[in-house]
Chains A and B, each alone.
Chain A
Amino acid sequence: MATDARPNTLFRNLNAKLAALPMILCTMLIFVGCSLWTIIYSFTSSKALPVEKFVGFAQYERLFNTSRWVQSVENIMIYGIVALIFSFVVGFILAAFLDQKIRFENTFRTIFLYPFALSFIVTGVVWQWILDPSLGLQETMRNLGWENFTFDLISGKDTVIYALLMAGLWQGTGFVMVLMLAGLRGIDDDIWKAVRIEGIPKWKTYIVVVIPMMRGVLITTLVIVSAGIVKLYDLVVALTNGGPGLSSEVPAKYVYDFMFSRANIGQGLAASTVMLATVFIILIPWIYLEYGNKGKK
Chain B
Amino acid sequence: MKSLKHCIAAALLAGTSSMAQAADLEVTHWWTSGGEAAAVKVLADNFNKTGHNWKDSAIAGGGNARPVIISRISGGDPMGATQLNSGRDAEELVQAGFMTDLTELSEKEGWKDIVRPSKLLDSCTYEGKIFCVPVNIHSFQWMWLNRSVFTDNGMEVPKSWDEMTAMQDKLKEKNIIPLALGGEPWQISGLAGVLTVALGGVELHTKINVEKSVEAAESEIMTRVFEALGNARSMVDPGNVGRAWNTATNMVITGKAASQIMGDWAQGEFAVAGQVAGKDYDCLPGLGINPVLDTGGDSFFFPKPKGDNAEETVKAQLAMASMLMSKQVQVDFNLKKGSLPIRGDIDMSAANDCMQKGIKILEKPENILPSSEQVWSPDTQGQFEDLWVEFFSSPEMKVADAQARFVNIIKTAD
Contact = CB atoms under 8 A, between A and B. Distances in A.
Interface of A: 47-48, 66-68, 128, 132-135, 152, 154-157, 160, 239-247, 257-258, 261-264, 267
B243 to A, nearest CB: 8
B238 A133 contact: yes
Nearest to A246: B390
Interface residues of B, number: 22
B379 to A, nearest CB: 4
B185 interface: yes
B68 to A, nearest CB: 15
Contacts of A154: 239, 241
A241 B242 contact: yes
Contacts of A155: 238-241
Interface of A is mostly: loop
B301 interface: no
A262 B386 CA distance: 11
A242 B185 contact: yes
Contacts of B393: 157, 243-247
A157 B394 contact: yes
B242 A128 contact: yes
B390 A241 contact: no
A243 B382 contact: no
Interface of B: 183-185, 237-242, 256, 377-379, 381-382, 386, 389-390, 392-394, 414
Contacts of A133: 238-239
B183 A262 contact: no
Contact of A261 (B237, B256, B378): B378
A154 B242 CA distance: 10
Contacts of B381: 262
B241 A68 contact: no
B392 A245 contact: yes
Given A47-B377, A128-B242, A240-B242, A134 B237 contact: yes
A67 B185 CA distance: 16
Contacts of A242: 185
B389 A246 contact: yes
Contact of A264 (B239, B240, B242, B379): B379
Contacts of A258: 379, 382
B334 to A, nearest CB: 30
Contacts of A267: 379
Given A241-B183, A245-B393, A263-B377, A257 B241 contact: no
13 contacts: A47-B414, A134-B237, A134-B256, A152-B239, A155-B240, A156-B238, A157-B394, A241-B184, A241-B241, A243-B183, A243-B185, A243-B393, A244-B240
Given A241-B185, A244-B240, A264-B379, 5 more contacts: A160-B241, A239-B242, A241-B241, A243-B242, A267-B379
List the 8 closest A-B pairs by CB distance, nearest first: A245-B393, A155-B238, A262-B382, A134-B239, A264-B379, A263-B378, A243-B183, A243-B241
Contacts of A66: 386
A287 to B, nearest CB: 37
A259 to B, nearest CB: 11
A245 B378 contact: no
Contact of B239 (A135, A246, A262, A263): A135
B242 A68 contact: no
B183 A244 contact: yes
A257 to B, nearest CB: 7
A59 to B, nearest CB: 12
A135 B247 CA distance: 12
A245 B394 CA distance: 7
Contact of A152 (B183, B238, B378): B238
A262 B378 contact: yes
B233 to A, nearest CB: 10
A157 B389 CA distance: 12
A102 B237 CA distance: 47
Given A68-B390, A241-B185, A246-B393, A257 B242 contact: no
A267 to B, nearest CB: 7
B318 to A, nearest CB: 35
B390 A245 contact: yes
A245 B389 CA distance: 5
B185 A47 contact: no
Nearest to B381: A262
Nearest to A152: B238
A243 B238 CA distance: 11
A67 B390 CA distance: 9
Contacts of B238: 133-134, 152, 155-156
Contacts of A243: 183, 185, 240-242, 389, 393
B382 A132 contact: no
A135 B242 CA distance: 13
A135 B414 CA distance: 43
A83 to B, nearest CB: 20
B107 to A, nearest CB: 36
Contacts of B183: 240-241, 243-244
B382 A261 contact: yes
Contacts of A246: 386, 389-390, 393
Contacts of A152: 238-239
Nearest to B237: A134
Nearest to A45: B414
A244 B390 contact: no
A245 B239 CA distance: 13
